[in-house]
Structure 1
Amino acid sequence: MATVLALSGSPSRTSRTTFLAEHTAATLRARGHQAHVLAPRGLPATPMLAADTHHASHARAVTLVDEADALVVATPVYQTAYSGLLKVFVDLLPQHAFAGKPVLPLATGGSPAHVLALDHVLRPVLTALGAEVSRGRFVLDRHLTASPDGAMALDHDDERQPDRVTDQSARPLPSSAYLPVA
């Protein structure tokens, strides 16, 4: 059984991106993995902006990244790039924080043109941190809908897409567990 940390880089409280990260974590848990979601928006801002890794909350978040066997990195696409919140959080991490770890990038955005942010903006950062970056998945905002009670849902085809992405290339981890990442 692998330990997977899903990072949601969304600054929003009612976030489609966080929903997608939680949905992916739930899929992984259903397959026997330990999966947790970390939303850096819940961390104190002042120490994060000062890159204070000694602050207790931030030190714990960095430890969670270090202890994970694999990661899911989810971000909304703003101005053709990943979120500033994700950037500030990544700046807290050691230079090779993702070294040798499979990382599944996920992005949400309002236009199909934003899909390029996965490969041209997010992938280089994840690779620089040492990640074994998989193909990833982009989901249009309009395919993530909120019901009147505030619950989120993926549209019919997109409901199956994260599962397909996580199924496409299951790879063994050192513990012989299988972590489905694309």
Structure 2
Amino acid sequence: MATVLSISGSPSATSRTARLARHLDAKLTAAGHQVVPLDVRTLPAEPLLGADFAHPAIVEATAQLAAADGVIVATPVYKAAYSGLLKALLDLFPQYGLSGKTVLPLATGGSTAHVLALDYALRPVLSSMGADHILPGWFTLDRDITVAPDGSVTVAPGSAEALGRVLDQFAATLPRTPLYAAAS
């Protein structure tokens, strides 16, 4: 199956955005895909903000991007845009780092007033990075994401159904390993 890089651009350790991304990662993993989670907040701040392209953590993140068949980009919405932390990472990736990849943009926020951040803020950047196919993505309201004390995530029924549809669309665009290659 395919390799998916799942990027969370949230600066918060208790982020609903990251929890939602990891929830979807588990679904892709259960479907046989290899998912590589990348929480941007775990990268060292100095090389991230100082544009140190040679720092080992940045080199590794760039290699993970290069190896991925598909990329999930999840972000909280702040002031009608994706997170600055995500922007810092995207700025360090190669100009055409998304060439040959399918991208699923996801956003979370407190109000439906932020829905257009996906199309008017994030999509143009992903497109400029050469993504072959950017799915419509999905915006999930914070109140539709419940995190249990054990860290498990429950998504409100309407949002869960919509997320399921966009995740199925994303998975359908990923390359599949031919049966003969898997058997050899």
Is the partner of 2:78 in helix, strand or coil? Answer: coil
Quote the residue 2:146 is aligned against: 145
Which structure 2 segments of 5+ residues have no match? 180-184
Paired residue type of 2:168 = D
Q: Of 147, 163, 175, which aligns to 1:173?
A: 175
| Aligned-partner Cα distance in 1 for 2:164–2:73 | 16
Share of identical aligned residues, percent?
A: 52
Quote the residue 2:6 is aligned against: 6
| Aligned-partner Cα distance in 1 for 2:52–2:130 | 22
Pairwise CA RMSD: 1.7
Closer, same or farther in 2 for the Cα pair 1:96/1:175, shift >3 Å? farther
- How many residues are aligned here? 177
Equivalence map 1:20-99=2 (5 Å): 20-99=20-99
Contact 1:105 1:133 in 2 (8 A): yes
| Aligned-partner Cα distance in 2 for 1:176–1:123 | 31
Quote the residue 1:164 is aligned against: 165
Contact 2:29 2:35 in 1 (8 A): yes
TM (norm. structure 1) is: 0.91
Closer, same or farther in 2 for the Cα pair 1:150/1:134, shift >3 Å? closer
| Aligned-partner Cα distance in 2 for 1:136–1:78 | 17
Closer, same or farther in 2 for the Cα pair 1:63/1:172, shift >3 Å? closer
Bigger helix share = 2
| Aligned-partner Cα distance in 1 for 2:160–2:13 | 21
Closer, same or farther in 2 for the Cα pair 1:102/1:176, shift >3 Å? farther
Which structure 1 segments of 5+ residues have no match? 178-182
TM (norm. structure 2) is: 0.90
1:164 Cα deviation (Å)?
1.5
1:126 Cα deviation (Å)?
0.3
